[in-house]
Amino acid sequence: MSAPFRSGPVTVRVPATSANLGPGFDSLGLALALHDELTAEVAPRLTVEVEGEGAEDVPRDERHLVVRALHAGLRAAGVEVPGVALRTRNVLPHGRGLGSSSAAIVGGLVLARGLLEDGSALDDDLLLDLATELEGHPDNVAPALLGGFVVSGTGTGADARAFAVPSPVAPGVSAVVLVPPGAVATTAARGLLPATVPHADAATNAGRAALLVVALGHRPDLLLRATEDRLHQEQREPAMPETLRLVHALRADGVPAVVSGAGPTVLAFVGAGVGAAGIDPQDVMDRGPRGWDVHHVDVGGSGAAVLAG
């Protein structure tokens, strides 16, 4: 069993992500400087140890999402799946809109590549396809894998593979994430969305999403207008009323605030170039409701990576 595998453990660090960013529903995603660390090595049998977020809730067998992704990666490489000893140190809160499931999926796939003596068969294009299949859409898995700010989607018909195109982030832009104590299931939040939307709203969102790519890369003074949304945030208010109240209050004061992913976390862009006069991160952090966790984080950093040593 040891022939195709490296000896000793492999550790992967994978970032949090924020998807949608207002108008970019299921198409825009951004890596954030909060990370989970996952360590695995070939072992006589499967064992799973979990530290940190989700330690009381996640399964300790083949149902664990990191294990499922790791196995999928090894099967895609044509390798017999061995026993694995997995240890996770979870920082990303579960069910809060910061890409915890995408981090688990991408982390497991990158672990699979790292465990192989020759992981070249598991290139980024294949891992993106596998991650998208496991997650259902690429908006979070793409920045978790590649880092940075990513425009992503899937093709149709014969060209159904996922695609991901990196886009720049202007220097000096960062984010404050305001994380409520309670989770909201992505399925519940998505279930609140209507089956159809008015043409005018779709057109407005298309324009704002295009503007957001320009604003985040080159014109952060335009981020407030560029983060306007008409397709999903207000529709999800019944599941997260406090989140939407905070978004409305921040935006009324000129802060480019959005629902992170499916919520309920709020993400606000901050920095010297954001808005007409710049936005002090501490001013936004001080707006966090009682009981919420608040973090000032860099954005657009590296994706999942095997740690040296």
| Cα(107)–Cα(272) distance, integer angstroms | 33
Is 35 assigned a ligand-binding role in the annotation? Answer: no
Is 287 assigned a ligand-binding role in the annotation? Answer: no
Is 210 assigned a ligand-binding role in the annotation? Answer: no
Is 95 assigned a ligand-binding role in the annotation? Answer: yes
Give the strand pairing for 83-90 and 162-167.
unpaired
Is 96 assigned a ligand-binding role in the annotation? Answer: yes
- DSSP, collapsed to helix, strand or coil, labels residue 178 as strand
Q: Which of 133, 148, 175, 131 is nearest to 29 (CA)?
A: 148
Is 100 assigned a ligand-binding role in the annotation? Answer: yes
Is 94 assigned a ligand-binding role in the annotation? Answer: yes
Identity of the residue numbered 190: R
- Residue with tokens 């606000």, as numbered in its chain: 268
The helix or strand, by DSSP H or E, that contains position 241, with its residue range, turns out to be helix 241-252
Is 136 assigned a ligand-binding role in the annotation? Answer: no
Query: Percent helix, strand and coil across the chain, each rounded to 5?
Result: 35, 30, 40
Please, what is the end-to-end C-alpha distance for the chain in angstroms?
Answer: 23
Is 19 assigned a ligand-binding role in the annotation? Answer: no
Please state the residue numbers annotated as binding site for ATP. 93-103
Please state the residue numbers annotated as binding site. 93-103
